[in-house]
Chain A
Amino acid sequence: MTETEATISERRQISKVWIVPIVAVLLGAWMVYYTYATQGPSITIVFKTAEGIEAGKTKIKARSVEVGLVESATLGEDLESVVVVAQLERSAIPLLREGTQFWVVRPRIGAGGVSGLGTIVSGGYIELAPGEGKPGQRRFQGLEDVPVTPVGTPGLQLSLYSEHAGSVNTGDPLLYQGFQVGRVESTEFDVEVHHVRYSVFIDAPYDDLVTSTTRFWNSSGISFSATAAGIEVETGSLQSLLFGGVAFGLPEGVSAGAAVENGASFELYADLASVNERPYQHGVEYVVRFARSVRGLRPGAPVEWRGIPLGKVERILMHEMVSARQMRGQGQQPIAVLLRLEPGRLILSDTEESVETLRQTIEAGVRNGIRATLATGSLLTGSLYVALDVYRNEPGAEVGEFAGWPTIPTISSGLEGIEVKISSLLDKLNALPVDRIAATADGTLRELRDTIAEVRALIASEGVQSLPRDLEASLAELERTLQSVNDLARTLEEQPSSLIFSTEPEPDPEPTAGSR
């Protein structure tokens, strides 16, 4: 190869053709970055069903503003739930907090009204209600029903317990003197306490109406009560009449208690009458056992402390008595009666603290002679009640136990003594020879009748009838005699010698013949 031989080498030059793909790649990279930088978080919502949810179509809205889109809806691992993955916008990040609620908005018809009609045309969507907890939450449990109270609404949330479900449903109104101040949020059966639990919400400022002594009752339906004044019909609002409802207030004679905290629990009474029957919420139960007939002692009979109402008779523990007999063998067993003593009936407040005070007082009192007796409430009806009193002569005792309840010792009342005396008296009466006595009495009465007839004849006789007349004549004669004696005395006074020497009396004056 010569020096003059040009070395021909190809100049390496990038073809301009490559500009287009490079720009395309750069543009794509920028778009990827932009997309990543601007997209919101992906969240997971678990529903029980995917009804109304469609991947790629169903939107997620907050206050009717679109904030995301459902990307997928798949069955959960347990095959009993649906896992919905949704992509939210970045602006929705502050809404994703602990307590944020999601539910599917679709047409619904319920007690609270008709909702979601707009989704018939536009299709359903998932509503987002932001919570108030910690931010950063990305997995949520979706609600199957529309929450009746929006999250963050000021007010008071309470739990009501009832033994029976009744006619109260979610969305039913909560009434105070007929005015709706809240609503029932949910109902469920609590398997632990075997009660139906109602979650209710009371809007502010009506939450101040609820205190520790407030009572809740089912106001659904119509209540009839017959009184001396006639028949009283009581109903709630038309809404509660048709769909049910819960009312609350203070029982008769009970004053407002302390304020209650959010989440407090109350008993839900069947009706207002049940509230007034048991106006006190807190009480303590005792068992008293009587070795005599309790005929006339009915559930609801009063329990009195020296005449002051302290509680009521709950029931006679028949089932528990039978169980105890089986365990201890056949034998004479006293009748066990369950009492409920309520400190609220006294000056004490209707609280658990007062119950504890009452419990301690009774325990100390039993050691000092407090005993229970059966007393007669009415001799006509034979109704009985339980009377508590202190018997100083009784030896000290301790509170016992029967079927899990504490027991108060009992003593026999004077009633039993009276019964024994009456029985003894009846026995003596039975032993009396009534026939012989009757025969004797008959003879005596006959003699008495004859005697009375004789006395009447004697009184009617002429001799007895003339006695007053004879007496009157005798008195007149006596008067004349005294007059004569008086005359004699005057004569002797005037002429003492006349007793020996007679004096010629002055002759009587002679009246002459008269003329007409």
Chain B
Amino acid sequence: MRTTACVCALLLLACASDPPARTQYLLRARLPDETSQIEAPVVIGLGRVTVAPYLKRPGLVVESKDHQVRPARYHVWAEPLEAGLRRYLRTEISNVLGYAIRSDAGNRAAWGYAVDVAVDQLHGTLSGQAQLVAGWRISRADGSEVAAYVLSTSEPLAVGGYPGLVDAEIALAQKLAAQIAESLQKAIAGEEKS
């Protein structure tokens, strides 16, 4: 009887050990500029924003060796990366264009132009780089394609550790938003000329 009680006590002691703290990160955009409230010259909507399946895990991903990645267990996104990226891109693109773009996919037929984004890579490396590979497609209301682009870029981590990785990835997302906004302006201008 005494022996059994000792075993249970040992087990309870083992279960009672403190797990490491889990840090959650938010892909937060800058606050919208006041200029985003002006009326848009043409209705632009942000359509589908998809990420590669390996990015659908909550943990931030670090490439340890070539072709080896490891999702972090204790450093995770506070929300699904797709949702965070979608909100981030909508806000940042609106900031760059100077007016708000829409994201109500249910009214896609009412948009003049739509942009769909696919993120293939967004992770850090042990050597201190954050990498982004993404593509986007601009289409008209009838679904016909206006233009398609691919962006592959990287950003060094200013500081080591996961906070630095998050900052670098946010910077990459900002680059992506800027490139998308620029391509939208070019595409719309080309359409108006023709």
- List the A side residues contacting B161 at CB < 8 Å: 510-511
- Asked if residues A511 and B104 are in contact (CB atoms below 8 Å), the reply is no
For the complex, is B64 an interface residue (Cβ under 8 Å from A)? yes
Give A202 to B70 CA distance when docked, in angstroms: 121
- Asked if residues B160 and A468 are in contact (CB atoms below 8 Å), the reply is no
Contact with B along A466-480 (1 / 0, CB 8 A): 001100010011011
Minimum distance in angstroms from B53 CB to a CB of chain A = 9
- Size of interface on A: residues with Cβ below 8 Å to B: 23
B 100-141 contacts with A by CB, 8 A: 104-106, 124-130
- List the B side residues contacting A509 at CB < 8 Å: 62, 64, 70, 72, 126
Known interface pairs A508-B72, A515-B128; 9 further A-B residue pairs with C-beta atoms within 8 A, sorted by A's residue number = A500-B14, A500-B15, A502-B14, A509-B64, A510-B161, A511-B126, A511-B164, A513-B128, A515-B156
- List the A side residues contacting B128 at CB < 8 Å: 511-515
Contact with A along B30-56 (1 / 0, CB 8 A): 000000000000000000000000001
Minimum distance in angstroms from B166 CB to a CB of chain A = 10
Give A468 to B73 CA distance when docked, in angstroms: 31
- Size of interface on B: residues with Cβ below 8 Å to A: 39
Contact with A along B59-86 (1 / 0, CB 8 A): 1001010000010111100001011000
Could you list 23 A-B pairs, sorted by A, with CB under 8 Å? Answer: A476-B56, A480-B56, A483-B56, A500-B11, A508-B62, A508-B72, A509-B62, A509-B70, A509-B72, A511-B62, A511-B124, A511-B160, A511-B162, A512-B126, A512-B127, A513-B156, A513-B157, A513-B158, A514-B125, A514-B127, A514-B129, A514-B130, A514-B156
Give A473 to B165 CA distance when docked, in angstroms: 26
- Asked if residues A502 and B17 are in contact (CB atoms below 8 Å), the reply is yes
For the complex, is A516 an interface residue (Cβ under 8 Å from B)? yes
Minimum distance in angstroms from A461 CB to a CB of chain B = 12
For the complex, is B159 an interface residue (Cβ under 8 Å from A)? yes
- List the B side residues contacting A510 at CB < 8 Å: 126, 160-162
Give the residue of A468, A483, A514 whose beta carbon is less than 8 angstroms from that of B157: A514
- List the B side residues contacting A469 at CB < 8 Å: 105
Q: Across chains A and B, which 10 residue pairs bring their CB atoms closest together, nearest first? A: A514-B128, A514-B156, A508-B72, A513-B160, A514-B157, A512-B160, A512-B128, A511-B124, A514-B129, A513-B128
Give the residue of A501, A513, A515, A516 whose beta carbon is less than 8 angstroms from that of B14: A501
Give the residue of B17, B72, B82, B105 whose beta carbon is less than 8 angstroms from that of A476: B82
Minimum distance in angstroms from A489 CB to a CB of chain B = 15
- Asked if residues A465 and B157 are in contact (CB atoms below 8 Å), the reply is no
For the complex, is A505 an interface residue (Cβ under 8 Å from B)? yes
CB nearest neighbor in A for B168: A514
Give A515 to B159 CA distance when docked, in angstroms: 10
CB nearest neighbor in A for B155: A514
Minimum distance in angstroms from B38 CB to a CB of chain A = 23
- Asked if residues B126 and A465 are in contact (CB atoms below 8 Å), the reply is no
Give A92 to B106 CA distance when docked, in angstroms: 126
CB nearest neighbor in A for B103: A469
For the complex, is A507 an interface residue (Cβ under 8 Å from B)? yes
What's the dominant secondary structure at chain B's contact region?
mixed
Q: Which residues of A contact B (CB under 8 A)?
A: 465, 468-469, 473, 476-477, 479-480, 483, 500-502, 505, 507-516
Minimum distance in angstroms from B158 CB to a CB of chain A = 7
Contact with A along B149-174 (1 / 0, CB 8 A): 00000001111111011001000000
Give A148 to B79 CA distance when docked, in angstroms: 125
- Asked if residues A507 and B20 are in contact (CB atoms below 8 Å), the reply is yes
Which of B106, B124, B130 gathers most chain A CB within 10 Å?
B106
Give the residue of B57, B74, B164, B168 whose beta carbon is less than 8 angstroms from that of A483: B57
Once A502-B17, A511-B128 are accepted as A-B contacts, the answer to whether A476 and B83 lie under 8 Å apart by CB is yes
Give A505 to B125 CA distance when docked, in angstroms: 21
CB nearest neighbor in A for B72: A508
Once A480-B58, A511-B157 are accepted as A-B contacts, the answer to whether A465 and B14 lie under 8 Å apart by CB is no
- Asked if residues A476 and B20 are in contact (CB atoms below 8 Å), the reply is no
Give A346 to B72 CA distance when docked, in angstroms: 100
Minimum distance in angstroms from A398 CB to a CB of chain B = 79
- List the A side residues contacting B75 at CB < 8 Å: 508
Minimum distance in angstroms from A321 CB to a CB of chain B = 75
- Asked if residues B159 and A513 are in contact (CB atoms below 8 Å), the reply is yes
Give A502 to B127 CA distance when docked, in angstroms: 31
- List the A side residues contacting B165 at CB < 8 Å: 511
Once A483-B57, A509-B70, A514-B156 are accepted as A-B contacts, the answer to whether A473 and B83 lie under 8 Å apart by CB is yes
CB nearest neighbor in A for B156: A514
- List the B side residues contacting A476 at CB < 8 Å: 56, 80, 82-83
- List the B side residues contacting A468 at CB < 8 Å: 105-106
Give A16 to B88 CA distance when docked, in angstroms: 186
Which of A473, A505, A507, A513 gathers most chain B CB within 10 Å?
A513
Which of A465, A476, A505, A512 gathers most chain B CB within 10 Å?
A512
Minimum distance in angstroms from B76 CB to a CB of chain A = 10
- Asked if residues B125 and A511 are in contact (CB atoms below 8 Å), the reply is yes
CB nearest neighbor in B for A477: B80
- Asked if residues A479 and B56 are in contact (CB atoms below 8 Å), the reply is yes
Which of A509, A515, A516 gathers most chain B CB within 10 Å?
A509
CB nearest neighbor in B for A516: B156
- List the B side residues contacting A479 at CB < 8 Å: 56
Minimum distance in angstroms from A344 CB to a CB of chain B = 70
- List the A side residues contacting B70 at CB < 8 Å: 508-509
- List the B side residues contacting A477 at CB < 8 Å: 80
- List the A side residues contacting B74 at CB < 8 Å: 507-508
Give A502 to B19 CA distance when docked, in angstroms: 10
- List the B side residues contacting A514 at CB < 8 Å: 125, 127-130, 156-157, 168
- List the B side residues contacting A502 at CB < 8 Å: 14-15, 17
Give A156 to B80 CA distance when docked, in angstroms: 115
Give A265 to B131 CA distance when docked, in angstroms: 116
Give A468 to B47 CA distance when docked, in angstroms: 13
Minimum distance in angstroms from A492 CB to a CB of chain B = 16
